[in-house]
Amino acid sequence: MVALRTEITEIVTGLAMLGFRDLDEALRVRPMSVVNLETEHYERLTDARASGSHDREFETAWENGHIFARADDGLRGRPPWSIEWKGPHKPPGYEQVPADLRIDHVYLVSCKYGSSILHNVSPSHLFDRALAEKRVERGSDWFVSTAPSAYQELYTACLVDTGLDRDYRALPALAADLETSDRKRLKAALPKRGRLPDKSQQLYEQFSMAVATASADRWRSSLRTAREREAMLWRLLRLQAAPYFVLGATTSGEPLRYRVGTPWDFRNRFELKSFDAWPESAGQPMVRWRAAVLDRDLARDVDNDAAVGDELCVIEGHVEIRWTHGRFSGAPEAKVHLDTHPHRVPGYFPLT
């Protein structure tokens, strides 16, 4: 079942587009034009509204939908005939647009509240293939591939710390030979959070830097030409062949409302000048990235049509590389975060 907070932010955003006087009226009417909602959904929303436990989410979602309904880039005051909520569906394939609502079969809306994550993918999909090709990967371990010696040293130290290196309890001597059951045993024996024992913690920090360095190197190596770097940035920012909208809030609660443009929109106004990635020691493997983009509209004096100098917009973010289910458990994943405020990102156009 979808989490209550997710239901509130997604469904209420859609309800606010229908022209009701206020949210309480919309919850009473339960409009049929919102597709894929059942009585139980409205009952949960009504109970949550009455409890007052999610007032901030209700308020922000209602305001976002209300503004989208009147925005020049949105519905421009035209009441929609149909709002489809995708709900807890399982995508039939690889979805490029992270849409939660579809308005009149045309407008795609992603409801993004309290998250800076752009992608959560396998490290090789990002660093080796620049997000260009999605494939199922089996039997590969990014940590073995990028930092085999540092990974093995860390693993050996953790075996000693937990006593899983001897007698009948012994796990495989090589980290590359770990099975799923072995990983679960090792994870359970290690501290759930915080620092490892001193020697293991020191080796973990060395391992983290080795993974981050190799990952950044491989990412840069996959982006040898300006065209490759530009296409990768489009994919990184999730620019698609058709525009869509993001309505939500930042991690601090500030409303987000913007249109995600297409690569065509990007090229018409912007030019990627540079893209760089570098490792950082941050308690876990981390790669920081930075793109410098020329905004031609800002670089031109509108009055006399004369260039006034480069106006560079900087987009910054970072990638966390970690096990999916805790230390030594699950396949490594790469979580791509956007650190720049979305309203200042070239290719994202705030709603007015």
pLDDT for 163-182, tens place per residue?
A: 999 887 799 999 999 999 99
Question: Length of the chain, please?
Answer: 352
3-state secondary structure string across the chain: CCCHHHHHHHHHHHHHHHCCCCHHHHHHHCCCCEECCCHHHHHHHHHHHHHCCCHHHHHHHHHHHHHHHHCCCCCCCCCCCCEEECCCCCCCCCCCCCCCEEECCCEEEEEEECCCEEEEECHHHHHCCCCCCCCCCCCCCHHHHHCHHHHHHHHHHHHHHHCCCCHHHCCCCCHHHCCHHHHHHHHHHCCCCCCCCHHHHHHHHHHHHHHHHHHHHHHHHCCCCHHHHHHHHHHHCCCCCCCEEEEEECCCCCEEEEEECCHHHHHHHEEEEEEEEEEEECCCEEEEEEEEEEECCCCEECCCCEECCCCEEEEEEEEEEEEECECCCCCEEEEEEECCCHHHCCCEEECC
Q: From the centroid of its chain, how far is CA 279?
A: 20
Amino acid at 213: T
* Predicted pLDDT of residue 281: 81
Q: Give CA–CA dist 209/285, Å, rounded.
A: 6
Output the six-digit token pair for 73. 């880039």
Return the pLDDT at 134.
72
Tokens encoding 293? 């983009």
Cα–Cα distance list, 320 to 120, 133, 184, 216, 219 (Å): 9, 20, 22, 12, 14
| Structure confidence by residue, pLDDT tens digits, 83-110 | 999 987 666 655 678 899 999 999 999 9
317's CB contacts (< 8 A; 6+ apart) are 118, 236, 288, 289, 290, 336, 337, 338, 339, 340
| Residue 27 main-chain phi, psi, to 5 deg | -70, -30
Amino acid at 180: T
- Comparing CA positions, the residue from 5, 211, 232, 182 lying closest to residue 100 is 5
What are the residue ranges in the chain where pLDDT is below 70? 1-2, 89-95, 136-139, 301-310
pLDDT at 88: 74
Structure confidence at residue 94 (pLDDT): 58
The pLDDT assigned to 302 comes to 47
Domain residue ranges in the chain: 4-113, 120-239+262-338
- pTM higher than the cut 0.85: yes
d(CA 351, CA 310): 25
Could you report the per-residue pLDDT of 6-35, keeping only the tens digit for each? Answer: 999 999 999 999 999 999 999 999 999 999
